[in-house]
Structure 1
Amino acid sequence: MAVDPRQRRAARHAQPATAAPRQARRKPPITVDRIIDAALEVVASSGYDALTMRSVAGALDTGPASLYAHVVNKADIDELIVGWLCAQLVLPEPDPATWRAQIVDVCAQIRDRFLAYPGISRAALAMVSTHLDVLRVNEGMLAIVLAGGIEPQTAAWAIDALWLYVSAYALERSLVTQRPGQEDDDRVIGRDELISRLTALPADRFPQIRRYAAELTSGTGHERFDFTLGLLVDNLAQRR
Protein backbone atom coordinates (compact mmCIF):
# COMPACT_ATOMS: atom_id res chain seq x y z
CA MET A 1 0.00 0.00 0.00
CA ALA A 2 1.44 3.34 -1.05
CA VAL A 3 2.32 5.78 1.69
CA ASP A 4 0.42 9.07 1.56
CA PRO A 5 2.79 11.95 0.79
CA ARG A 6 1.22 13.85 3.71
CA GLN A 7 2.33 11.07 6.02
CA ARG A 8 5.84 11.32 4.68
CA ARG A 9 5.83 15.03 5.39
CA ALA A 10 4.47 14.51 8.91
CA ALA A 11 7.15 11.93 9.60
CA ARG A 12 9.88 14.32 8.52
CA HIS A 13 8.55 17.00 10.85
CA ALA A 14 8.02 14.62 13.77
CA GLN A 15 11.64 13.49 13.95
CA PRO A 16 14.64 15.25 12.44
CA ALA A 17 16.28 13.13 9.81
CA THR A 18 19.84 12.10 10.47
CA ALA A 19 21.89 13.35 7.60
CA ALA A 20 24.81 11.32 6.43
CA PRO A 21 28.05 13.01 7.43
CA ARG A 22 29.43 15.18 4.63
CA GLN A 23 32.93 14.30 3.61
CA ALA A 24 35.19 17.23 2.99
CA ARG A 25 36.32 17.55 -0.59
CA ARG A 26 39.94 16.56 -0.76
CA LYS A 27 42.26 18.81 -2.71
CA PRO A 28 44.43 17.06 -5.27
CA PRO A 29 47.94 16.61 -3.90
CA ILE A 30 50.63 19.12 -4.76
CA THR A 31 53.09 17.68 -7.28
CA VAL A 32 55.92 19.08 -9.37
CA ASP A 33 53.78 18.75 -12.50
CA ARG A 34 50.96 20.76 -10.91
CA ILE A 35 53.45 23.42 -9.83
CA ILE A 36 54.72 23.68 -13.41
CA ASP A 37 51.16 23.95 -14.75
CA ALA A 38 50.31 26.64 -12.20
CA ALA A 39 53.49 28.60 -12.95
CA LEU A 40 52.78 28.54 -16.68
CA GLU A 41 49.21 29.64 -16.01
CA VAL A 42 50.46 32.64 -14.02
CA VAL A 43 52.90 33.65 -16.76
CA ALA A 44 50.37 33.17 -19.58
CA SER A 45 47.74 35.28 -17.83
CA SER A 46 49.84 37.93 -16.06
CA GLY A 47 53.36 37.79 -17.48
CA TYR A 48 56.64 36.60 -16.03
CA ASP A 49 56.90 39.50 -13.57
CA ALA A 50 53.88 38.09 -11.75
CA LEU A 51 55.55 34.72 -11.20
CA THR A 52 56.39 34.28 -7.50
CA MET A 53 56.15 31.47 -5.00
CA ARG A 54 53.05 33.18 -3.61
CA SER A 55 51.33 33.54 -7.01
CA VAL A 56 51.99 29.89 -7.86
CA ALA A 57 50.67 28.82 -4.47
CA GLY A 58 47.60 30.99 -5.01
CA ALA A 59 46.93 29.31 -8.36
CA LEU A 60 47.03 25.98 -6.54
CA ASP A 61 44.79 27.25 -3.72
CA THR A 62 47.44 26.60 -1.12
CA GLY A 63 50.12 28.45 0.82
CA PRO A 64 53.72 29.03 -0.31
CA ALA A 65 54.99 26.71 2.40
CA SER A 66 53.31 23.79 0.64
CA LEU A 67 55.54 24.26 -2.38
CA TYR A 68 58.82 23.85 -0.54
CA ALA A 69 58.30 20.12 -0.19
CA HIS A 70 58.64 19.90 -3.98
CA VAL A 71 60.77 22.84 -5.18
CA VAL A 72 63.75 24.61 -3.66
CA ASN A 73 62.83 28.19 -4.54
CA LYS A 74 61.63 30.46 -7.34
CA ALA A 75 64.77 29.78 -9.39
CA ASP A 76 63.93 26.08 -9.24
CA ILE A 77 60.49 26.83 -10.70
CA ASP A 78 62.15 28.89 -13.44
CA GLU A 79 64.30 25.93 -14.44
CA LEU A 80 61.33 23.58 -14.35
CA ILE A 81 59.20 25.70 -16.66
CA VAL A 82 62.04 26.31 -19.12
CA GLY A 83 62.66 22.57 -19.09
CA TRP A 84 58.97 21.94 -19.77
CA LEU A 85 59.05 24.31 -22.74
CA CYS A 86 62.16 22.63 -24.10
CA ALA A 87 60.50 19.22 -23.80
CA GLN A 88 57.92 20.40 -26.37
CA LEU A 89 60.53 21.09 -29.07
CA VAL A 90 60.91 18.70 -31.99
CA LEU A 91 64.57 18.05 -32.83
CA PRO A 92 65.48 16.70 -36.26
CA GLU A 93 68.02 14.05 -37.12
CA PRO A 94 71.11 16.12 -38.03
CA ASP A 95 71.56 16.33 -41.80
CA PRO A 96 74.74 17.81 -43.29
CA ALA A 97 72.80 18.85 -46.40
CA THR A 98 70.14 20.85 -44.56
CA TRP A 99 71.81 21.74 -41.26
CA ARG A 100 71.31 25.48 -41.70
CA ALA A 101 67.54 25.15 -42.20
CA GLN A 102 67.41 22.70 -39.28
CA ILE A 103 69.10 25.02 -36.78
CA VAL A 104 66.95 27.96 -37.88
CA ASP A 105 63.81 25.85 -37.39
CA VAL A 106 64.83 24.85 -33.86
CA CYS A 107 65.49 28.51 -33.00
CA ALA A 108 62.07 29.47 -34.37
CA GLN A 109 60.46 26.79 -32.20
CA ILE A 110 62.19 28.18 -29.11
CA ARG A 111 61.07 31.71 -30.07
CA ASP A 112 57.45 30.67 -30.45
CA ARG A 113 57.42 28.81 -27.12
CA PHE A 114 58.87 31.82 -25.34
CA LEU A 115 56.41 34.22 -26.96
CA ALA A 116 53.49 32.07 -25.82
CA TYR A 117 54.44 32.90 -22.21
CA PRO A 118 55.27 36.64 -22.02
CA GLY A 119 58.64 37.38 -20.49
CA ILE A 120 59.51 33.78 -19.73
CA SER A 121 62.74 34.04 -21.72
CA ARG A 122 64.10 36.10 -18.81
CA ALA A 123 64.26 32.84 -16.89
CA ALA A 124 66.33 31.27 -19.67
CA LEU A 125 68.69 34.26 -19.77
CA ALA A 126 69.28 34.11 -16.02
CA MET A 127 70.30 30.46 -15.72
CA VAL A 128 72.93 27.95 -16.68
CA SER A 129 70.64 24.97 -16.70
CA THR A 130 71.50 21.31 -16.21
CA HIS A 131 67.85 20.29 -16.59
CA LEU A 132 67.79 17.21 -18.83
CA ASP A 133 65.15 18.61 -21.19
CA VAL A 134 67.18 21.79 -21.68
CA LEU A 135 70.33 19.74 -22.22
CA ARG A 136 68.44 17.63 -24.78
CA VAL A 137 67.90 20.77 -26.86
CA ASN A 138 71.54 21.85 -26.45
CA GLU A 139 72.65 18.38 -27.50
CA GLY A 140 70.39 18.46 -30.55
CA MET A 141 71.48 21.96 -31.63
CA LEU A 142 75.14 21.09 -31.16
CA ALA A 143 74.74 17.91 -33.20
CA ILE A 144 73.09 19.86 -36.04
CA VAL A 145 75.87 22.46 -36.22
CA LEU A 146 78.62 19.83 -35.98
CA ALA A 147 76.93 17.93 -38.81
CA GLY A 148 77.42 21.08 -40.89
CA GLY A 149 81.17 20.68 -40.54
CA ILE A 150 81.66 23.45 -37.98
CA GLU A 151 84.69 23.19 -35.70
CA PRO A 152 83.62 22.12 -32.16
CA GLN A 153 84.73 25.26 -30.30
CA THR A 154 83.00 27.49 -32.83
CA ALA A 155 79.89 25.30 -32.71
CA ALA A 156 79.75 25.47 -28.91
CA TRP A 157 79.95 29.27 -28.81
CA ALA A 158 77.52 29.55 -31.70
CA ILE A 159 74.87 27.61 -29.78
CA ASP A 160 75.30 29.97 -26.84
CA ALA A 161 74.97 33.01 -29.15
CA LEU A 162 71.82 31.58 -30.74
CA TRP A 163 70.20 30.99 -27.33
CA LEU A 164 71.08 34.53 -26.26
CA TYR A 165 69.64 36.10 -29.39
CA VAL A 166 66.43 34.07 -29.39
CA SER A 167 65.86 34.78 -25.68
CA ALA A 168 66.55 38.50 -26.05
CA TYR A 169 64.31 38.77 -29.11
CA ALA A 170 61.43 37.04 -27.33
CA LEU A 171 61.94 39.23 -24.25
CA GLU A 172 61.84 42.44 -26.29
CA ARG A 173 58.63 41.37 -28.04
CA SER A 174 57.08 40.40 -24.71
CA LEU A 175 57.98 43.72 -23.10
CA VAL A 176 56.20 45.61 -25.87
CA THR A 177 53.05 43.48 -25.76
CA GLN A 178 52.94 43.49 -21.95
CA ARG A 179 53.32 47.25 -21.56
CA PRO A 180 50.37 48.56 -19.52
CA GLY A 181 48.00 50.90 -21.33
CA GLN A 182 49.84 50.34 -24.58
CA GLU A 183 47.12 51.84 -26.77
CA ASP A 184 47.21 55.13 -24.85
CA ASP A 185 50.95 55.16 -24.18
CA ASP A 186 52.58 58.09 -25.99
CA ARG A 187 55.85 56.14 -26.06
CA VAL A 188 54.28 53.68 -28.51
CA ILE A 189 54.07 55.24 -31.95
CA GLY A 190 53.23 53.88 -35.37
CA ARG A 191 55.76 53.45 -38.15
CA ASP A 192 54.48 56.43 -40.15
CA GLU A 193 54.86 58.72 -37.15
CA LEU A 194 58.31 57.32 -36.42
CA ILE A 195 59.45 57.94 -40.01
CA SER A 196 58.05 61.45 -39.77
CA ARG A 197 60.06 62.15 -36.62
CA LEU A 198 63.26 60.70 -38.05
CA THR A 199 63.04 62.62 -41.31
CA ALA A 200 62.45 65.81 -39.34
CA LEU A 201 65.82 65.51 -37.58
CA PRO A 202 68.48 68.16 -38.34
CA ALA A 203 70.05 67.25 -41.68
CA ASP A 204 73.54 68.38 -40.65
CA ARG A 205 73.63 66.00 -37.66
CA PHE A 206 71.60 63.00 -38.84
CA PRO A 207 71.91 62.79 -42.63
CA GLN A 208 71.93 58.99 -42.82
CA ILE A 209 69.03 58.48 -40.42
CA ARG A 210 66.95 61.02 -42.36
CA ARG A 211 67.80 59.39 -45.68
CA TYR A 212 67.20 55.81 -44.60
CA ALA A 213 64.33 56.26 -42.14
CA ALA A 214 62.14 53.85 -44.12
CA GLU A 215 64.81 51.14 -44.07
CA LEU A 216 65.55 51.65 -40.38
CA THR A 217 61.89 51.17 -39.46
CA SER A 218 61.03 48.36 -41.89
CA GLY A 219 60.22 44.75 -41.09
CA THR A 220 57.02 42.98 -40.17
CA GLY A 221 56.32 39.79 -38.28
CA HIS A 222 59.58 37.95 -37.66
CA GLU A 223 61.50 39.36 -40.66
CA ARG A 224 64.21 40.90 -38.50
CA PHE A 225 64.50 37.68 -36.50
CA ASP A 226 64.97 35.65 -39.69
CA PHE A 227 67.48 38.19 -40.99
CA THR A 228 69.65 38.05 -37.87
CA LEU A 229 69.57 34.27 -37.66
CA GLY A 230 70.58 34.17 -41.31
CA LEU A 231 73.59 36.36 -40.57
CA LEU A 232 74.68 34.12 -37.70
CA VAL A 233 74.21 30.84 -39.54
CA ASP A 234 75.68 32.03 -42.85
CA ASN A 235 78.76 33.27 -40.99
CA LEU A 236 79.12 29.82 -39.44
CA ALA A 237 78.97 28.24 -42.90
CA GLN A 238 81.78 30.49 -44.10
CA ARG A 239 83.98 29.36 -41.19
CA ARG A 240 84.02 25.74 -42.31
Structure 2
Amino acid sequence: MTEQALSVWTRQKRGREQPALSREQIVAEAIKLLDADGLDTLSMRNLGKQLGAGATSLYRHVANKDELIELVVDEIYGEIEVPEAGAASWRASTTVCASSVRAMILRHPWVASVLGQIGTSYLGPNVMRLSDRMLALFEEGGFGLEEANLGLSTVLSYVIGWGINEAAWMTSLARSGLTEREWSARMEPAAREAARSYPRLNRLYEMAALTSGEETRQDEFTYGLDRILDGLEKRP
Protein backbone atom coordinates (compact mmCIF):
# COMPACT_ATOMS: atom_id res chain seq x y z
CA MET A 1 0.00 0.00 0.00
CA THR A 2 1.38 3.41 -0.98
CA GLU A 3 1.87 5.77 1.94
CA GLN A 4 -0.19 8.94 1.56
CA ALA A 5 1.76 12.17 1.42
CA LEU A 6 1.16 14.57 4.31
CA SER A 7 1.56 17.65 2.09
CA VAL A 8 2.07 18.66 -1.50
CA TRP A 9 5.58 19.66 -0.43
CA THR A 10 6.42 16.11 0.67
CA ARG A 11 4.86 14.24 -2.26
CA GLN A 12 7.13 13.15 -5.08
CA LYS A 13 6.18 14.52 -8.49
CA ARG A 14 5.04 12.03 -11.07
CA GLY A 15 7.47 11.14 -13.78
CA ARG A 16 5.30 12.28 -16.68
CA GLU A 17 3.66 15.69 -16.76
CA GLN A 18 0.81 16.58 -19.09
CA PRO A 19 2.34 19.08 -21.52
CA ALA A 20 -0.94 20.89 -22.18
CA LEU A 21 -1.46 21.74 -18.52
CA SER A 22 1.11 22.84 -15.96
CA ARG A 23 0.98 23.18 -12.19
CA GLU A 24 1.54 26.92 -12.65
CA GLN A 25 -1.56 27.21 -14.87
CA ILE A 26 -3.65 25.28 -12.37
CA VAL A 27 -2.54 27.47 -9.46
CA ALA A 28 -3.07 30.73 -11.38
CA GLU A 29 -6.59 29.74 -12.41
CA ALA A 30 -7.43 28.57 -8.90
CA ILE A 31 -6.43 31.96 -7.50
CA LYS A 32 -8.67 33.69 -10.06
CA LEU A 33 -11.61 31.53 -8.99
CA LEU A 34 -10.93 32.12 -5.31
CA ASP A 35 -10.61 35.89 -5.74
CA ALA A 36 -13.83 36.04 -7.74
CA ASP A 37 -16.08 33.64 -5.83
CA GLY A 38 -14.40 32.55 -2.60
CA LEU A 39 -13.40 29.22 -1.16
CA ASP A 40 -16.80 27.54 -1.24
CA THR A 41 -16.94 27.48 -5.04
CA LEU A 42 -13.49 25.99 -5.55
CA SER A 43 -13.52 22.34 -6.56
CA MET A 44 -11.38 20.23 -8.83
CA ARG A 45 -14.35 19.91 -11.18
CA ASN A 46 -15.01 23.66 -11.40
CA LEU A 47 -11.32 24.33 -11.85
CA GLY A 48 -11.09 21.75 -14.60
CA LYS A 49 -13.97 23.43 -16.44
CA GLN A 50 -12.26 26.80 -16.27
CA LEU A 51 -9.09 25.27 -17.67
CA GLY A 52 -10.92 23.28 -20.33
CA ALA A 53 -9.69 20.03 -18.86
CA GLY A 54 -11.16 17.13 -16.92
CA ALA A 55 -10.62 16.86 -13.18
CA THR A 56 -8.49 13.78 -13.78
CA SER A 57 -6.01 15.94 -15.68
CA LEU A 58 -5.56 18.08 -12.59
CA TYR A 59 -4.80 15.02 -10.46
CA ARG A 60 -1.60 14.56 -12.42
CA HIS A 61 -0.32 17.65 -10.63
CA VAL A 62 -2.21 17.77 -7.32
CA ALA A 63 -3.66 14.84 -5.40
CA ASN A 64 -6.64 16.68 -3.92
CA LYS A 65 -8.11 20.06 -3.01
CA ASP A 66 -6.01 20.28 0.16
CA GLU A 67 -2.82 20.14 -1.90
CA LEU A 68 -4.23 22.75 -4.26
CA ILE A 69 -4.87 25.09 -1.32
CA GLU A 70 -1.29 24.60 -0.14
CA LEU A 71 -0.05 25.64 -3.57
CA VAL A 72 -2.25 28.71 -3.95
CA VAL A 73 -1.40 29.95 -0.45
CA ASP A 74 2.31 29.65 -1.16
CA GLU A 75 1.81 31.43 -4.49
CA ILE A 76 0.17 34.48 -2.94
CA TYR A 77 2.86 34.60 -0.27
CA GLY A 78 5.18 35.28 -3.20
CA GLU A 79 3.48 38.68 -3.58
CA ILE A 80 4.84 39.93 -0.25
CA GLU A 81 7.52 42.60 -0.46
CA VAL A 82 10.62 42.07 1.67
CA PRO A 83 13.32 44.74 1.34
CA GLU A 84 16.90 43.59 1.13
CA ALA A 85 18.73 43.63 4.45
CA GLY A 86 20.63 46.89 4.77
CA ALA A 87 18.44 48.78 2.27
CA ALA A 88 16.83 50.69 5.16
CA SER A 89 16.67 50.46 8.94
CA TRP A 90 15.50 47.18 10.46
CA ARG A 91 12.31 48.81 11.69
CA ALA A 92 11.46 50.55 8.42
CA SER A 93 12.03 47.37 6.41
CA THR A 94 9.96 45.27 8.82
CA THR A 95 7.13 47.81 8.56
CA VAL A 96 7.20 47.58 4.76
CA CYS A 97 7.02 43.80 4.93
CA ALA A 98 4.25 43.76 7.55
CA SER A 99 2.17 46.20 5.49
CA SER A 100 2.71 44.04 2.42
CA VAL A 101 1.45 40.94 4.28
CA ARG A 102 -1.69 42.83 5.29
CA ALA A 103 -2.22 44.06 1.72
CA MET A 104 -1.83 40.51 0.38
CA ILE A 105 -4.51 39.21 2.74
CA LEU A 106 -6.91 42.00 1.72
CA ARG A 107 -6.31 41.26 -1.99
CA HIS A 108 -7.17 37.62 -1.34
CA PRO A 109 -9.65 37.69 1.57
CA TRP A 110 -10.51 34.00 1.14
CA VAL A 111 -7.10 33.19 2.62
CA ALA A 112 -8.45 34.23 6.02
CA SER A 113 -10.43 31.00 6.25
CA VAL A 114 -7.57 28.65 5.35
CA LEU A 115 -4.39 29.94 6.99
CA GLY A 116 -5.08 28.21 10.28
CA GLN A 117 -5.78 24.92 8.52
CA ILE A 118 -2.47 24.61 6.67
CA GLY A 119 0.05 23.28 9.13
CA THR A 120 2.68 22.63 6.47
CA SER A 121 2.60 26.05 4.79
CA TYR A 122 6.09 26.73 6.15
CA LEU A 123 7.46 24.16 3.65
CA GLY A 124 6.41 26.16 0.59
CA PRO A 125 9.27 27.83 -1.32
CA ASN A 126 7.78 31.32 -1.17
CA VAL A 127 7.11 31.04 2.56
CA MET A 128 10.65 29.74 3.06
CA ARG A 129 12.07 32.64 1.06
CA LEU A 130 9.94 35.17 2.96
CA SER A 131 10.96 33.75 6.34
CA ASP A 132 14.66 33.64 5.52
CA ARG A 133 14.73 37.20 4.18
CA MET A 134 12.78 38.54 7.16
CA LEU A 135 15.17 36.78 9.53
CA ALA A 136 17.96 38.62 7.74
CA LEU A 137 16.20 41.92 8.48
CA PHE A 138 16.04 41.09 12.18
CA GLU A 139 19.69 40.03 12.22
CA GLU A 140 20.50 43.38 10.63
CA GLY A 141 18.76 44.97 13.62
CA GLY A 142 21.05 43.19 16.06
CA PHE A 143 18.95 40.15 16.89
CA GLY A 144 20.60 36.76 17.27
CA LEU A 145 19.10 34.08 15.04
CA GLU A 146 16.95 32.45 17.74
CA GLU A 147 15.68 35.81 18.99
CA ALA A 148 15.14 36.92 15.40
CA ASN A 149 12.88 33.90 14.92
CA LEU A 150 10.87 34.81 18.03
CA GLY A 151 10.59 38.43 16.95
CA LEU A 152 9.52 37.46 13.44
CA SER A 153 6.88 35.09 14.81
CA THR A 154 5.53 37.86 17.04
CA VAL A 155 5.24 40.36 14.20
CA LEU A 156 3.68 37.88 11.76
CA SER A 157 1.22 36.61 14.37
CA TYR A 158 -0.02 40.16 14.87
CA VAL A 159 -0.18 41.01 11.16
CA ILE A 160 -1.85 37.76 10.09
CA GLY A 161 -4.32 37.89 12.99
CA TRP A 162 -5.20 41.47 12.13
CA GLY A 163 -5.43 40.68 8.43
CA ILE A 164 -7.72 37.69 8.99
CA ASN A 165 -10.16 39.79 11.03
CA GLU A 166 -10.03 42.63 8.53
CA ALA A 167 -10.53 40.29 5.57
CA ALA A 168 -13.53 38.67 7.27
CA TRP A 169 -15.05 42.12 7.76
CA MET A 170 -14.42 43.14 4.16
CA THR A 171 -15.93 39.87 2.92
CA SER A 172 -19.08 40.46 4.97
CA LEU A 173 -19.23 44.03 3.69
CA ALA A 174 -18.94 42.86 0.08
CA ARG A 175 -21.79 40.41 0.59
CA SER A 176 -23.98 43.23 1.88
CA GLY A 177 -23.42 45.26 -1.28
CA LEU A 178 -22.75 48.37 0.82
CA THR A 179 -19.73 50.63 1.11
CA GLU A 180 -18.19 51.12 4.55
CA ARG A 181 -19.73 54.60 4.76
CA GLU A 182 -23.17 53.22 3.83
CA TRP A 183 -22.86 50.42 6.38
CA SER A 184 -21.82 52.87 9.11
CA ALA A 185 -24.67 55.23 8.26
CA ARG A 186 -27.20 52.43 8.58
CA MET A 187 -25.75 51.03 11.80
CA GLU A 188 -24.98 54.33 13.55
CA PRO A 189 -28.44 54.93 15.08
CA ALA A 190 -28.58 51.43 16.55
CA ALA A 191 -24.96 51.63 17.77
CA ARG A 192 -25.53 54.99 19.46
CA GLU A 193 -28.69 53.71 21.13
CA ALA A 194 -26.90 50.58 22.38
CA ALA A 195 -23.98 52.65 23.74
CA ARG A 196 -26.11 55.33 25.43
CA SER A 197 -25.55 53.88 28.90
CA TYR A 198 -21.81 53.38 28.37
CA PRO A 199 -20.08 56.79 28.33
CA ARG A 200 -16.70 55.62 27.06
CA LEU A 201 -18.20 53.64 24.21
CA ASN A 202 -20.51 56.54 23.44
CA ARG A 203 -17.55 58.92 23.12
CA LEU A 204 -15.72 56.41 20.91
CA TYR A 205 -18.69 56.25 18.53
CA GLU A 206 -18.72 60.05 18.34
CA MET A 207 -15.01 60.12 17.56
CA ALA A 208 -15.31 57.34 14.97
CA ALA A 209 -17.88 59.34 13.04
CA LEU A 210 -15.14 61.83 12.14
CA THR A 211 -13.03 59.30 10.19
CA SER A 212 -13.63 56.84 7.38
CA GLY A 213 -13.56 53.10 7.99
CA GLU A 214 -10.46 52.61 5.86
CA GLU A 215 -8.60 55.41 7.60
CA THR A 216 -9.50 54.00 10.99
CA ARG A 217 -8.41 50.48 10.06
CA GLN A 218 -5.07 51.77 8.78
CA ASP A 219 -4.46 53.84 11.90
CA GLU A 220 -5.33 50.95 14.22
CA PHE A 221 -3.09 48.53 12.31
CA THR A 222 -0.19 50.98 12.39
CA TYR A 223 -0.65 51.67 16.09
CA GLY A 224 -0.50 47.97 17.00
CA LEU A 225 2.49 47.30 14.76
CA ASP A 226 4.39 50.31 16.13
CA ARG A 227 3.84 49.21 19.73
CA ILE A 228 5.15 45.70 18.93
CA LEU A 229 8.22 47.15 17.20
CA ASP A 230 8.75 49.54 20.12
CA GLY A 231 8.89 46.56 22.45
CA LEU A 232 11.26 44.63 20.24
CA GLU A 233 13.58 47.64 19.91
CA LYS A 234 13.69 48.08 23.69
CA ARG A 235 14.44 44.44 24.42
CA PRO A 236 17.20 43.85 27.02
Q: With structure 1 as the length reference, what TM-score do the two structures score?
A: 0.73
79-88 vs 35-44, which moves further: 79-88
Are the aligned partners of 1:122 and 1:167 in contact in 2 as well (CA < 8 Å)? no
1:59 is aligned, of 50, 57, 76, to 50
CA 1:32–1:236 in 2, change beyond 3 Å: closer, same or farther?
Answer: same
Identity of aligned residues (%): 23
How far the C-alpha of 1:149 sits from its partner, in A, is: 1.8
Question: Within 1, Cα distance between the matches of 2:25 and 2:88?
Answer: 42
How far the C-alpha of 1:66 sits from its partner, in A, is: 2.0
Are the aligned partners of 1:96 and 1:149 in contact in 2 as well (CA < 8 Å)? no
1:178 aligns with 2:174: no
1:194 aligns with 2:188: yes
The number of aligned residues is 210
Are the aligned partners of 2:91 and 2:229 in contact in 1 as well (CA < 8 Å)? yes
RMSD: 3.0
1:36 aligns with 2:27: yes
2:225 is aligned, of 222, 229, 235, to 229
Question: Within 1, Cα distance between the matches of 2:224 and 2:43?
Answer: 33
| Equivalent residue, structure 1, for 2:204 | 212
CA 1:98–1:216 in 2, change beyond 3 Å: closer, same or farther?
Answer: same
Question: Within 1, Cα distance between the matches of 2:126 and 2:96?
Answer: 18
CA 1:194–1:238 in 2, change beyond 3 Å: closer, same or farther?
Answer: farther
1:115 is aligned, of 88, 95, 106, to 106
1:164 aligns with 2:157: yes
The gaps in structure 1 that reach 5 residues or longer are 1-26
AA aligned opposite 1:108: S
Are the aligned partners of 1:121 and 1:171 in contact in 2 as well (CA < 8 Å)? yes
CA 1:165–1:119 in 2, change beyond 3 Å: closer, same or farther?
Answer: farther
| Equivalent residue, structure 1, for 2:74 | 83
Question: Within 2, Cα distance between the matches of 1:73 and 1:48?
Answer: 15
Q: With structure 2 as the length reference, what TM-score do the two structures score?
A: 0.74
CA 1:165–1:194 in 2, change beyond 3 Å: closer, same or farther?
Answer: farther
SS in 2 for 1:72: coil
| Equivalent residue, structure 2, for 1:20 | none
CA 1:183–1:81 in 2, change beyond 3 Å: closer, same or farther?
Answer: closer
CA 1:115–1:94 in 2, change beyond 3 Å: closer, same or farther?
Answer: same
What are the equivalent positions in structure 2 for 1:91-106 lying under 5 Å apart?
A: 91-95=82-86, 98-106=89-97
Name whichever structure is richer in helix by fraction. Answer: 2
Question: Within 1, Cα distance between the matches of 2:94 and 2:52?
Answer: 41
SS in 2 for 1:120: helix
Are the aligned partners of 1:94 and 1:144 in contact in 2 as well (CA < 8 Å)? yes
1:140 aligns with 2:133: yes
Are the aligned partners of 1:111 and 1:166 in contact in 2 as well (CA < 8 Å)? yes
What are the equivalent positions in structure 2 for 1:149-160 lying under 5 Å apart?
A: 149-160=142-153
30-39 vs 76-85, which moves further: 76-85
Question: Within 2, Cα distance between the matches of 1:93 and 1:49?
Answer: 37
Q: Deviations over 1:22-55 (max 9, x none)?
A: xxxxx97221011111111101211233223233
AA aligned opposite 1:207: P
Larger Rg computed on CA atoms: 1
